Structure 1
Amino acid sequence: MKKILYIPGLACLLAISSCSDYLEEENISSATAENFYVTQTGYEALINSTYSTLRDLYAPTPYIFCAGTDLFFGAHQDAPLALTSYQSLTPGTPQVNDFFQTLYQSIQVCNTALHYAELTEEFQYLDSRRGEARFLRAYYYFLLVQSFGDVSLVTDMVDEPITHFERTPAAEVYQFIIDELSQAVNEVPATQSDYGRVTKAAVEHMLAKVYLTRGYEAYGQASDFDNAAAHADAAIGGQGLTVSFDKVFGYRNEVNDDVLFAVQYDQASLLNGGAHNWDTPWGPLIQGTGEGVAKKNLLHPTEYLFTIFGEYDSRFEGTFLNVRTYPYVGYYLNPKKSEVRNYYPRTAAQIADTAAWRAADLENRKDADIVPISSYWWEGNNQDAYPSLSKFDRIQNSDTRFTHDIYIARLGETYLIAAEAYLKSGNASLAADRINEVRRRAAMPGHEGDMMISAADVTLDFILDERARELAGEGHRWFDLKRTGTLMSRTKMYNPEIKSIYESGADPFQGNNGEYKILRPIPLNAISLDSEEYPQNPAYAN
């Protein structure tokens, strides 16, 4: 049987109707495409499909994005050891296979949209729609090149079987991404009438992040960090952080000024419906009838994450639910009428004031179990008595169906991208200015001055700490550590699962031929279904 490359079939995605659910759902055939996609209505439907691919990518439990870092460790048998501790990471790891496959499926949808952009009828938003598809394709390639290094750069719509692809050098892939985003920034508008579409600020944010990431590579250019800072500042556009941190991820508050681009689930979004599994893994174990959520202790916060927030940093309370009600969703839906089951104070003032805290709402708090911060919080065997990471809490009960948007780019991160770029370009003063805007927003009322830093405080470790405080659980951390070359050192220091492997005398990152498992492995399916040689990454054996 003739081999068709699995990516997944880049070759057969549009040519054979049984190759993907996307084909079946949209009923795409060559005849339909020729007649439908050349109209405004048809082309708009195709562009909407490019946005839908984001949901395919972000639907699974976010092990690829968050596991095996300094922030979370595997604490349940269902968590994949291959991604939480690296030792068993191989080309057969299912989550890596799915990630690779979904990215190429999504790229092919974008390729199709860009192909028909040259054929469809002219209409008012055509340039913008072209830029939106270009942005999404560039973003998918950015995820690929960071994760796998050299990858196949496929930019044309594939409508017939292809049996072999070459791996394009990562340097060329980065240049392609930068070129595409540089074009997209001139095609998309500053604002969109449909909330959720790509805007100029989102493209500027991503350009900044791509330049920043390439700047660390051996093939990076001398101007990369300067370009990253310039594009980050362009994305900021003089806008301060005006949304309080606890409201950035507030219930039904996804449409806020901090969000530059997101995977849409909210009813006010461009495309509504669907669900994801980003609420489940952070625990604690909650599976009772009527709780309105289902959670497991799959990715447990490390001691480092629980303790990195300062006394006056409100981001802890904006990240973790330190008051657990019964039912769990009562905290969101009816807090004044929900019994408090657990309270988790962590600052000196909170711990000293527990009696006053209880008295402030005696009806709901009289039976609350108060569990102050201690090593018990970060014990892997502690399944149900620690603060839950609540940024993506999804409510599913008889009365309410709510799935939180997943933020891909938001202004709080843009400031930190600018700070890192300024630090790397030698301007610690401007780096401190950008960080201080983030910390000003994070400060508890009246303690803004206590949160400010100086240029002398700014180091790469400080920026990584600040990114942990601001962005925990948002899907950036593995890429942060990989970008900065700190994946091995910081997980060895802060991840107890990985630390214990080192202490046993083994190196969890040690791979084939003495190479380290920093890049992800190319999935076996991609290699075995290629008609010629498709090289594996050095640390892995096929």
Structure 2
Amino acid sequence: MKSIKSKIYAILLGLSIISCSGYLDEENLGNTTAENFYGTKNGYEGLVNATYATLRDVYEPTPYVFCAGTDLFFAAHAEVPLGLASYQTLTPGESNVERLFRSLYQSIQITNLALYHADKTEDFPELESRIAEVKTLRAYYYFMLVQQFGDVSIVENLVNEPITHFERKPASEVYQFIIDQLNEAIAILPPAQTNFGRVTKRAAQHILAKVYLTRAYETYGNGTEDFEMAASLADTAINGQGLNLPFGDLFKYKNDKNEEILWSVQYNKSLSGEISHNWDYPWGPLVQGANDGVVKKNALHPTEYLFTLFEDNDTRFEGTFLNIKTAPYSGYILNPTTTPVEYYYPRTATQIAAVPAWRAADPVNRINTIISPIGAHWWDGLNQVDYPALKKFDRVQTATPSVQYTHDIYLARLGETYLIAAEAYLQSNNPVNAVARVNTVRQRAGASIVANVTLDFILDERARELAGEGFRWLDLKRTGKLVDYTKVRNPDIKALFDGGTNPFVGVGGQLKILRPIPLAVISLDSGEYPQNPGY
């Protein structure tokens, strides 16, 4: 039998993967084999847990590849990769794109390892569910790949010998593989899990609804049939559950496990330190004081479109943005009644008129507050400190070991499920149901009820509901709005268009809509691994 020290060389991944041991060589001092270890319930459960841990690898970096270059945020700092921010200089050498591609295939390799040992491990009551969970994770990773890169290689078996060439499969085949895997998983998955964060039937239905919704826009999709499937699956995932929590509670401090979260990437403190991501960092404003507890930079700056998208009574603005800035920054989480307020950001006429009453409500902490009402300075990229911060992922780090907190990243939550259903119903010629699903979302936010909706309106609603959560680039690509929206709403991209340059036009006049296949992948493949259009 192979020892844990044996290596698997997967050329597509561009790195060596260590069989059964993560990514470090280990001496097999106990003569333990993978077959022995993963053949036990405890060993196999540990392997399944490792497949979940790969989500952290995918989502750990600053989320430029998910959030830059859209109509919601523009680059206000040199740290933001220019190619992702405005496309003109996007090349196959972009490291953020390469890292995403590599981490997705690394994660798929771990899921394949778990599925390889599924019929070799001892039987236990949860085994079928665990297999279904792993299939869902693998399908999710392929869904990420096909949206970002189009045609990709399907690797569904464990790579345990040298492979020097992989074929890119047509995106249509990749989608069918994803759909088949999710349908198999949904048939087995339970409606609820003992451990929060494990994939449930409803979470898989949410993902599959989004898969059908996305494929429906493609030329190889099934159009109305796919939209109808998406609507049906989304409603099934909703399962009659209303949006009962105030919007602000969804991202409240230590409220990550609330009733509306269908699936999320889990974070907590470990013995080796804090397990964290970098999704709180780029939204600014600049925070780097020794007592602030966090470091933030003005990197992905909200656009005028996003800042002005909310009705006066829409609570999602205050649920998304921190309308005060305190000193220390994290003080508003830990000690809100004893933390001085440096800035207050009123945005409505009522809030502006009520500033004296607002200040009088807490004169000790608000006596020296700078009042900064909504205006052009909010969306000025040179403004480093004086604008509301996107707060959804704010973490807390203090000198006290017991106060360490990193917010979970939500991959599927009920508010989005309603909006998936709305879009699918609209596109399958059922506007009545589309309006009903949108109004459920708007009612929770205190926004006005609408009588009809368009695709543009639903995308506006997705912006209000999901800003900063990593879906916008995919939304615009899915609906064919990426160029049209960014060229008028993103100031960096608008400046290029206004100067006569379409930054999306690449090699051969083809548009850079898909991400480039990383240069490392093409150079390491012994055969022909085609590049995407425009690169």
Q: What range describes the TM-score normalised by the shorter chain of this pair?
A: over 0.9
Per-residue CA distance 1:240-265 (angstroms, 9 max, x = gap): 01111000000000010110000001
Task: Give the conservation status (yes or no) of the 8 Å contact 1:216–1:483.
Answer: yes
- The residue identity in structure 1 corresponding to 2:437 is R
SS of match in other structure, 2:329: coil
SS of match in other structure, 1:73: strand
From 478, 483, 490, the equivalent of 2:485 is 490
From 425, 428, 432, the equivalent of 1:429 is 432
From 395, 402, 407, the equivalent of 1:404 is 407
- The residue identity in structure 2 corresponding to 1:389 is L
- Say whether residues 1:79 and 2:80 are aligned partners: yes
Name the structure 1 match of 2:41. 40
Residue 479 to residue 504, structure 1, CA distance change in 2 (3 Å): same
Q: Distance in 1 between matches of 2:305 and 2:26?
A: 45
Q: How many pairs does the alignment contain?
A: 524
Q: CA deviation at 1:27?
A: 7.9
Q: CA deviation at 1:24?
A: 4.6
Name the structure 2 match of 1:200. 201
- Say whether residues 1:239 and 2:241 are aligned partners: yes
- The residue identity in structure 2 corresponding to 1:423 is L
Q: CA deviation at 1:381?
A: 0.3
- Say whether residues 1:470 and 2:465 are aligned partners: yes
Residue 195 to residue 127, structure 1, CA distance change in 2 (3 Å): same
Task: Give the conservation status (yes or no) of the 8 Å contact 1:6–1:525.
Answer: no
Q: Distance in 1 between matches of 2:416 and 2:115?
A: 29
Name the structure 1 match of 2:448. 451
* Gap runs ≥5 in structure 2: 1-7
Task: Give the conservation status (yes or no) of the 8 Å contact 1:135–1:184.
Answer: yes
Task: Give the conservation status (yes or no) of the 8 Å contact 2:18–2:25.
Answer: no
Task: Give the conservation status (yes or no) of the 8 Å contact 1:346–1:373.
Answer: yes
Name the structure 1 match of 2:505. 510
Task: Give the conservation status (yes or no) of the 8 Å contact 2:268–2:275.
Answer: no
Residue 503 to residue 30, structure 1, CA distance change in 2 (3 Å): farther
Name the structure 2 match of 1:446. none
- Say whether residues 1:8 and 2:13 are aligned partners: yes
Name the structure 2 match of 1:447. none
Per-residue CA distance 1:386-413 (angstroms, 9 max, x = gap): 0000000011111221000000000000
Q: Distance in 2 between matches of 1:469 and 1:147?
A: 23
SS of match in other structure, 2:286: strand
SS of match in other structure, 2:394: coil
Task: Give the conservation status (yes or no) of the 8 Å contact 1:5–1:530.
Answer: no
Q: Distance in 2 between matches of 1:430 and 1:23?
A: 52
SS of match in other structure, 2:292: coil
- The residue identity in structure 2 corresponding to 1:510 is V
Name the structure 1 match of 2:3. none
Q: Distance in 2 between matches of 1:531 and 1:208?
A: 37
Name the structure 2 match of 1:288. 289
- The residue identity in structure 2 corresponding to 1:428 is P
Task: Give the conservation status (yes or no) of the 8 Å contact 1:501–1:507.
Answer: yes
Q: Distance in 2 between matches of 1:58 and 1:174?
A: 22
Per-residue CA distance 1:50-98 (angstroms, 9 max, x = gap): 0000000000000111000000000011111010111110000000000
Residue 337 to residue 208, structure 1, CA distance change in 2 (3 Å): same
Residue 460 to residue 29, structure 1, CA distance change in 2 (3 Å): farther
Per-residue CA distance 1:93-152 (angstroms, 9 max, x = gap): 000000000000000000111111111111010011001100000000000000000000
Q: Distance in 1 between matches of 2:59 and 2:481?
A: 25
Task: Give the conservation status (yes or no) of the 8 Å contact 1:292–1:396.
Answer: yes
Per-residue CA distance 1:141-172 (angstroms, 9 max, x = gap): 00000000000000001111100000000000
Residue 85 to residue 175, structure 1, CA distance change in 2 (3 Å): same
* Gap runs ≥5 in structure 1: 444-449
Name the structure 1 match of 2:134. 133
Q: Distance in 2 between matches of 1:236 and 1:73?
A: 33
Q: CA deviation at 1:14?
A: 4.0
Name the structure 1 match of 2:57. 56
Name the structure 2 match of 1:324. 325
SS of match in other structure, 2:294: coil
TM-score (norm: length of structure 2):
0.95
Alignment of 1:116-515 (within 5 A): 116-222=117-223, 223-266=225-268, 273-399=274-400, 400-443=403-446, 451-454=448-451, 456=452, 458-515=453-510
TM-score (norm: length of structure 1):
0.94
Per-residue CA distance 1:213-247 (angstroms, 9 max, x = gap): 00000011141000000000010000001111000
SS of match in other structure, 2:188: coil
The percentage of counterpart residues that share the same residue type is 60
SS of match in other structure, 2:263: strand
Residue 283 to residue 156, structure 1, CA distance change in 2 (3 Å): same
Q: Distance in 2 between matches of 1:483 and 1:126?
A: 35
- The residue identity in structure 1 corresponding to 2:481 is T
Q: Distance in 1 between matches of 2:449 and 2:308?
A: 19
Alignment of 1:85-104 (within 5 A): 85-104=86-105
Q: CA deviation at 1:4?
A: 5.8
SS of match in other structure, 1:335: coil
Name the structure 1 match of 2:524. 529
Residue 276 to residue 211, structure 1, CA distance change in 2 (3 Å): same
Q: Distance in 1 between matches of 2:526 and 2:256?
A: 46
Residue 27 to residue 68, structure 1, CA distance change in 2 (3 Å): farther
Q: CA deviation at 1:28?
A: 12
- The residue identity in structure 2 corresponding to 1:409 is A
- Say whether residues 1:70 and 2:71 are aligned partners: yes
